[in-house]
Amino acid sequence: MTTTDRPHASSARGDQAREGGLLSVVIPCHDESAVIDATHARLTAVLPLTGMEHEIIYVDDGSHDDTLEKLEALAARDARVRVIALSRNFGQQAAMSAGLAAASGSAVVITDADLQDPPEVIPEMVDRWRDGVDVAYGRRRARDGETRFKLLTASLFHRLFAAAVPYPMPVDTGDFKLVDRAVVDAVNALPERRRYLRSLVPWAGFRHEPVWYDRHPRAAGVTKYSPWKLIRLAGDALVLSSDAPIRLTWAAAAALLVVGVAATLTAVVGALAAPEPRTAVSLSAIVAVASLVAAVQTFSVAIVGEYVVRAYREAQGRPPWVVRRAIGFGPEAGRAATPSGAVTSARAA
């Protein structure tokens, strides 16, 4: 789905700002030692084709392998590499948000570390951006290397999610996208701590257009998402971005009410027609009905709880990530440390 029919309309900041300039690339990395050098090589081969200066911001999200050492080595030999080392594993959403907050480009590309999203698509995204598109998001034509189960559940979830969110939401798309500075600023300025960027970027509005591409299998290493972690992420995405689950409890309440009224009427009519009760209700029927009602009620309370717990987390006000080290940002490294006032204790190296 697109949110504009006018890909050639002028941008929010005027098209002149889109010639040359700096392109930032943000890459969250968790245990990506097996692939990171190859990723860097592919990126640096392709980024000059954009006609922009570039910086690559790797965010090490508490890796246990030697990803950080490899990133440090890249930074030591390439002045355009910046590294943000988070103090532990805060999750991909936090890692990407930390990178977005530290990026100083007039456009920012977000991509995974594992080459599933081919860097060769980036110049096309930049072209779209120059045409006036504010968010050029990668839309997957094909996805090799995923199980049928994952493809089906992902497709279903994307469509359910798009229906549940009250603003236009692209489907069949992941984190791979180019985002204009105006949109980056809007997202960085949000005070919320727990961030689901796939819905925050569409929330910000502006002009979105797809760039179609084929998603490849992971070049090396393994996925960091177990099915359980994916389910948690999906739950987070829904509750953070939509009120639809709460509305569902209204629907459940209404359905129970209808059943209750119908059952009462049936009982009254039955009693009037035949004052002597002739039918005995089995115990198992009572247990079944009681369990159903209890299940619906407990389910509703659990849904409310999901919102309450997130409200509580926001009230606690903890930063969504903590920076242990920032490398390659130079003395003006402040940006790496203070996105929307949320991050503490970075020091430039």
Query: By C-alpha distance, which of 111, 94, 93 is closest to 47?
Result: 111
> Which among Mg ion, ligand UDP, none contacts residue 56 (Cβ within 5 to 8 A by kind)?
none
Residue tagged 């006032």 (tokens): 341
Q: Can you tell me the distance from the alpha carbon of 93 to that of 112, in angstroms, rounded to the nearest whole number?
A: 11
Identify which range of 71-79, 182-190, 220-228, 310-318 contacts ligand UDP by CB under 6 A.
Answer: 220-228
To which H or E segment does residue 74 belong?
helix 67-77
92 binding ligand UDP? (CB under 6 A): yes
Choice from 55, 57, 61, 71 touching ligand UDP (CB under 6 A): 61
Q: Can you tell me the distance from the alpha carbon of 163 to that of 209, in angstroms, rounded to the nearest whole number?
A: 19
Q: Interface mask (CB under 6 A) for ligand UDP, residues 167-206, using x and -? A: ----------------------------------------
CA angle 120, 210, 103 (to 5 degrees): 65
Minimum Å gap between C-beta 116 and Mg ion is: 4
Query: By C-alpha distance, which of 217, 215, 219 is closest to 142?
Result: 215
Minimum Å gap between C-beta 93 and ligand UDP is: 8
Q: Can you tell me the distance from the alpha carbon of 8 to that of 347, in angstroms, rounded to the nearest whole number?
A: 42
The structure tokens listed for 283 are: 């115990």
Q: Interface mask (CB under 5 A) for Mg ion, residues 84-123, using x and -? A: ----------------------------x-x-x-------
Size of the site for ligand UDP (CB under 6 A): 16
Minimum Å gap between C-beta 72 and ligand UDP is: 17
Pair 100, 26: CB distance under 8 Å: yes
> Which among ligand UDP, Mg ion, none contacts residue 91 (Cβ within 5 to 8 A by kind)?
ligand UDP
Q: Is 265 helix (H, G, I), strand (E, B) or coil?
A: helix
Site for ligand UDP in 62-91 (CB under 6 A): 89, 91
Query: Residues 6 or more apart from 285 whose CB is under 8 A from it?
Result: none
Q: Give the footprint of Mg ion on this chain (CB under 5 A).
A: 112, 114, 116
Residue ranges in contact with ligand UDP by CB under 6 A: 28-30, 32, 61, 89, 91-92, 95, 112-114, 116, 223-225
